[in-house]
Structure 1
Amino acid sequence: MASNLETINVPHLPSLPVHVALYRDVQNAAFLKGQLLAGNAEFEYALIDASMVLSRAHATAAVFRAVNDYMHNRLKSRNVHSEIVFSFNSTNNIAESFRRFGIADSTKDLLVVKVSVSPEITHESVAAHLGASVQGTSVPFDDKTLSEVSDVSKIKKVYKLGALPSPPKAIDQSNGTNDELKQRLENALLAAIALRGS
């Protein structure tokens, strides 16, 4: 059930609403990946392994880059949804992007993104399709939930940020140092996305 589906209007790109859902304990990742690989148009989503997403800002930066490239006819991949997965990567290797950030058969925590590239793609239609297709628990798309599922050591390795100290797994809101460590890491990830291919 996609009860936590959120529709976001990307700043500067209001004509393309973005629908985002986060799932935990996904049971049918292999099926979803298979539909995507088969080119089933009903499953044209950005399906991202949520363990590779540090924060809401990290995810929205990749979405913004992809949607902006879509609007300006600069896509390097097949469509805006594959471009979102590609946009998470700090290099220009598309296949590597899908290996590192895309859904795998073993994915248990899944971030799903759908861009309204046509009028029939609405909050209601996406919610209904995800509710019928994803076997998992819908959870809020927020920093608290993402901090529970993100694999910080894996993220740092992929982005080659080993020198940065890691924030603790569960962010303690009363500890300013933890917030500062998370902010430094998040800033480094946003810079990597913004500067890719520059």
Structure 2
Amino acid sequence: MSSSPLETIHLPHLPLAVHAALYTDVHNAPYLRQQLLSANADFEYAFVDASMILSRAHALSAVFRAVNDYLNERLKSRNIHSEIVFSLSPTNNIADSFRKFGISDTTTSLLVVKVSVTPDITYESVAAHLAQNVQGSPLAFDDESLSGISNIAKIKKAYKLGSLPSTPSGQANGTQDDGKRRLEVSVQGAIALRGAA
């Protein structure tokens, strides 16, 4: 199973393992979305439109918040996996968060997250299920892969960060990194502060 794109992540201070895989050139997004809509328990995943993810830290901030809310019995959505998609949103509108960050019929880049909330959810079971059901090309779940997928304009619009300068292109790498870092800090802040007011 070493060819699996799946990675197991252990977040600090949280006892549950998180499994994540990133895909591009996904051909069966309508099928995967339909499984979610029909509440097929075998497809209880966080299916995230990867073009809306700026970085690994951005995605894991939402996962951390959702797992923490799950452990403290504060879920606002149906389960921990829908909560991950909801946690990406800067607003408390669950339907809007799924429209902006969740899988759609036109999704071609997909981040899949599964949390081991029961003992039968293992690396092996998740890897096998994804291999059978996701038709796409696997990528490493890292910032380099995400930088080729991220739609900065859509991300800035979703988080209402239009006043932040776009990441400059063709400039010295330090300036480009500074612009991305500022955007990432703003996005993570929006996730952390949602509902705090």
When normalised by structure 2's length, the TM-score is 0.96
* Aligned match of 1:179: 177
Q: 2:85 is matched by which residue type in structure 1?
A: V
Q: Residues of 2 paired with 1:34 and 1:168: CA distance?
A: 38
Q: In percent, how many aligned pairs have the same letter?
A: 65
Q: Residues of 1 paired with 2:122 and 2:11: CA distance?
A: 15
* Aligned match of 2:8: 7
Partner residue of 2:188 out of 187, 190, 194? 190
Q: Residues of 2 paired with 1:69 and 1:181: CA distance?
A: 31
- Decide whether the 8 Å contact of 2:168 with 2:175 is kept in 1: no
- Within a 5 Å distance, the mapping from 1:159-170 to structure 2 comes to 159-168=159-168
1:104-139 superposed Cα distances (whole Å, 9 cap, x missing partner): 000000000000000000011100000000000011
1:78-127 superposed Cα distances (whole Å, 9 cap, x missing partner): 00000000000000000000000000000000000000000000011100
Q: Residues of 1 paired with 2:145 and 2:44: CA distance?
A: 25
Shift of residue 167, structure 1, vs aligned partner: 1.5
- Within a 5 Å distance, the mapping from 1:21-40 to structure 2 comes to 21-40=21-40
Q: 2:53 is matched by which residue type in structure 1?
A: V
Matched, 1:137 2:161: no
Shift of residue 38, structure 1, vs aligned partner: 0.4
* Aligned match of 1:52: 52
Q: Structure 1: where are the runs of 5+ without partners?
A: none
* Aligned match of 1:101: 101
Q: Helix, strand or coil for the counterpart of 1:149? A: coil
* Aligned match of 1:20: 20
Q: Residues of 2 paired with 1:167 and 1:128: CA distance?
A: 38
1:129-168 superposed Cα distances (whole Å, 9 cap, x missing partner): 0000000001100000100000000100110000101225
Q: Residues of 1 paired with 2:168 and 2:48: CA distance?
A: 23
- Decide whether the 8 Å contact of 2:47 with 2:112 is kept in 1: yes
Q: Helix, strand or coil for the counterpart of 2:48? A: strand
1:44-89 superposed Cα distances (whole Å, 9 cap, x missing partner): 0000000000000000000000000000000000000000000000
Q: Helix, strand or coil for the counterpart of 2:148? A: helix
Q: Residues of 1 paired with 2:39 and 2:79: CA distance?
A: 11
Q: Residues of 2 paired with 1:168 and 1:6: CA distance?
A: 31
State the aligned residue count.
195
Instruction: Give the ranges of 4+ consecutive aligned residues of structure 1 lying more than 3 Å apart after TM superposition.
Output: none
Q: Residues of 2 paired with 1:36 and 1:117: CA distance?
A: 18
Q: Residues of 2 paired with 1:133 and 1:4: CA distance?
A: 13
Q: Helix, strand or coil for the counterpart of 1:22? A: strand
